[in-house]
Structure 1
């Protein structure tokens, strides 16, 4: 046990708190930077929406004579012109498009927050899994040492009959199983630290956690704040974007005038200018059809918002029930089962020191190990479930 503590001491000295890992991930993780660039792109899209469409300029030369193309003073119809054309959007169209882009930006910003929530949840669950395995390794290492010591004691004090030999063999098999389990846990621990390092965007060697089990918050705390759920808020923003799209499509039915100004130069006659206005004619109902499509999509999104609200409430109640169950199981193990098995273990351990009842001791050792693992496991389940509840209400800490 002392050797195990000495090996872990360097890790404890350089352990990171969960808060540090979470903050570093929120500031540095590449998946977040990708979405941040998309949000920045929306700002540029907004600026574009405030502009008019690009004007067009055309140059032309009329009435070119094949006999002498350079002769430009034969008749009044011979001119060289430059024309400027600009589409003028109907008042309100640009504002409608800008509001739609604002809603789109809000949705992508919420997607960024949702990714942060998922990242925080994944970091917590990985950290709690690491804690679980490290605690199990401590116990297994302790039991390995206890089993080895008692095999040595029993070999020294015990007789050489068949029963004694079978007891020692049974203890040695238990020792082998403990070593196999230890090897598997160490292998899993390496993978979990790699995953935690990726999630937190920094190299992690050890994690500092406070894993005291406290009375869970009432379910009403979570149901009253379910509106902060990022999936729900994204659905709401998607509906807002759809409503803004309806306004854009409805305004498309209004005619956008196209103003054209031209200057005409003639070599032998006076120059002159032309001014013209053109209109598109929405006579085929295309704009109305597009607006109707947008209305139907908005109704679908509205139904999704209602469904998301009901679904999140159900998830919260179900997850909270799991949290309460974990708390009750932990209480039973710590306050009922554990005191009994420890008392039996102490009595059996005292008997082994006198060379008696090794088989019973090993049986109790296995039961105590199982109970210790259940205690550690249920604490991990408690905190993982709490992390899931926090994610359901949009918690990013």
Structure 2
């Protein structure tokens, strides 16, 4: 169906989110993190030790000993490790969301570029046809003086420029389809898309939607992860307990059991140093978050200014310039039909073409910057 009628932008986006290899890769990491969370709540493996000595069996000290040792972490340490693993999974999920948002933005940008190129190709074809028709019309007159012949030559040169431009646009369209197919992870050779400029953008409304920014979400998750790591490392100052039980076998004497308790002694300040390192990392994460807030706000200002400029250019072209050129075009077109100067007609024709190109570029720029802003708000459509 897509081959016959063209895929829509929404269809391409939904298909890409399912098939994209980069997204599949981080999905695998998220699935792996679930096992990390499960493992974080487990005790360390017990240690089994078997020892024997070389004394004669008649000696009381001759024995073989089997010892089992289990380390029991201080209260709260397992919960802290689980919190670190959970925070890491949350960070991966937020990174996945950012990748999806970036993929959607890239697909939109390519789709809007494709619309732009196809629209430019359409007006180029239209002006090729107009120029060719007027050359043929002008050449049909019985007598052509030297100045009129120069007009025909200029029209023919302009026609060559249009054909060169058409060739470039055709190649660019094909390249854009290839790039779009790569992003969508499926072959696309037709795209059903129609763009126009509707409403004037509102900066205040756009700012209200920035709370869902995925980059900011990632920085929040990094702060939460560092907080969890700091909590976990701070508990290392409290000793773990090791429970020990052993059984001693003596060939010619009574066998016996050994029982013991051991603790780790954090006496070298290593844990304090590690805690200071994590404290510094937490402060760094918080600073990075604040910098991200400022960066997002600056990006919004840049995209908004460009979007507003495109809106204004579009209306200047359509509300002011094009009506005037259209009237000039009608006058010059009528003059050409009576054998008047073709130079003036070509000038007006290409002035109108230039304005129509500006209109197309403004529409494309409006939507490309809108896509940038939508990415800032975490949009997945």
Give the equivalent residue in structure 1 for 2:342.
358
| Cα distance between partner residues in 2 of 1:158 and 1:171 | 18
SS at match of 1:203: coil
| Cα distance between partner residues in 2 of 1:216 and 1:167 | 43
Q: Deviations over 1:104-146 (max 9, x none)?
A: 1111100000001100100001000000110111111111111
SS at match of 1:58: strand
The unaligned stretches of length 5 or more in structure 1 are 1-9, 66-71
SS at match of 1:63: coil
| Cα distance between partner residues in 2 of 1:242 and 1:295 | 8
1:191-202 paired onto structure 2 within 5 Å: 191-202=175-186
1:28-47 paired onto structure 2 within 5 Å: 28-47=19-38
| Cα distance between partner residues in 2 of 1:57 and 1:293 | 35
SS at match of 2:237: coil
**Contact 2:111 2:180 (C-alpha < 8 Å) held by counterparts:** yes
Alpha-carbon distance, 1:307 to partner: 1.7
Alpha-carbon distance, 1:324 to partner: 1.3
Give the equivalent residue in structure 1 for 2:106.
122
Give the equivalent residue in structure 1 for 2:271.
287
Give the equivalent residue in structure 2 for 1:6.
none
| Cα distance between partner residues in 1 of 2:209 and 2:148 | 63
Give the equivalent residue in structure 2 for 1:308.
292
| Cα distance between partner residues in 1 of 2:140 and 2:334 | 15
| Cα distance between partner residues in 2 of 1:324 and 1:164 | 45
**Contact 2:5 2:192 (C-alpha < 8 Å) held by counterparts:** no
**Contact 2:148 2:341 (C-alpha < 8 Å) held by counterparts:** no
Q: TM-score, normalization: structure 1?
A: 0.93
| Cα distance between partner residues in 1 of 2:204 and 2:188 | 36
1:247-396 paired onto structure 2 within 5 Å: 247-396=231-380
Alpha-carbon distance, 1:193 to partner: 0.2
Alpha-carbon distance, 1:210 to partner: 2.9
**Contact 1:36 1:112 (C-alpha < 8 Å) held by counterparts:** yes
Q: TM-score, normalization: structure 2?
A: 0.97
Give the 3 Å change call, closer, same or farther, for CA 192–182 of structure 1 in structure 2: same
Give the 3 Å change call, closer, same or farther, for CA 11–242 of structure 1 in structure 2: closer
SS at match of 1:19: helix
Alpha-carbon distance, 1:161 to partner: 2.0
| Cα distance between partner residues in 2 of 1:239 and 1:36 | 22
SS at match of 1:138: helix
**Contact 1:158 1:164 (C-alpha < 8 Å) held by counterparts:** no
